[in-house]
Amino acid sequence: MERFLSRLERKMGRFYISGLMRIIVFGMAGVFLLDLFFSRSVTASQLLSFNRALILRGQVWRLLTFVFIPEGSSPIFIFFTLYFYYLIGTALENRWGSRRFNLYYLIGIIGADIGGMLTGYGTGYFLNLSLFLAFACLYPDFEILLFFVLPVKIKYIAYLDAAYLVYILISLSWAGRGSMLLSFLPFFLFFGEELFFGAKRLAWRLKNRR
């Protein structure tokens, strides 16, 4: 899989954006502010969100701009969400390089687009959530202050997040499940092999203990 990803990365050539997560975060902040202060009959989110029917009528920009739709309506929640996205996104870009980070996000957008066109349900939420799990895989011992007081390693939050994702997967409709899984396509490509062999080693250890 690493060879395949490296080949895709080389094919991108010079066509990548440095500081991509910064652009996405500022874009989400801009859309939130437009919705907050200038929304009347039609909001910025409504003009940019994924909508299969409107895409088929020619509004093809929605295949990309849905990643700028903010999650939530509380200014405080949005501030901390965007700060966290910026933190993990820049850390991943510094670790992988701009080109590979662009590749990760591009695969996620394509997966979300395919899921949205097949099911009618398209969102950038699961793609950004996959970034968090990618960050947890690479920096499991990174600590954050929970409630600004309690230091917690990111891997423990990732375990809870994974359980939450399983719950969502069960509770969603088939359309939502398909869209969710396709949005996680880059995570499966980048980390699926490692997680598979990690689970295999864990099962082997448990078997030997018994």
Tell me how many domains the chain contains: 1
- What's residue 149's pLDDT? 72
Mean pLDDT of the chain: 86
With 0-12 / 13-18 / 19 or more C-beta atoms within 10 angstroms meaning exposed / middle / buried, residue 52 is middle
- What's residue 198's pLDDT? 53
The domain in which residue 127 lies consists of 2-209
Q: Tens digit of pLDDT for each residue in 13-30?
A: 888 899 999 999 999 999
Q: Tens digit of pLDDT for each residue in 147-204?
A: 667 788 888 888 888 888 888 888 877 777 888 889 899 999 998 776 655 555 555 6
Q: Which residue has the higher pLDDT, 55 or 75?
A: 55
- What's residue 5's pLDDT? 83
* CATH number of the domain where residue 202 is located: 1.20.1540.10
- What's residue 123's pLDDT? 86
Q: Is the pLDDT of residue 42 over 80?
A: yes
Q: Measured between alpha carbons, how far is 29 from 88 in angstroms, rounded to an integer?
A: 17
- Percent of the chain topping pLDDT 70: 90
User: C-alpha distances in angstroms, 109 versus 83, 89, 144, 185?
Assistant: 21, 15, 28, 9
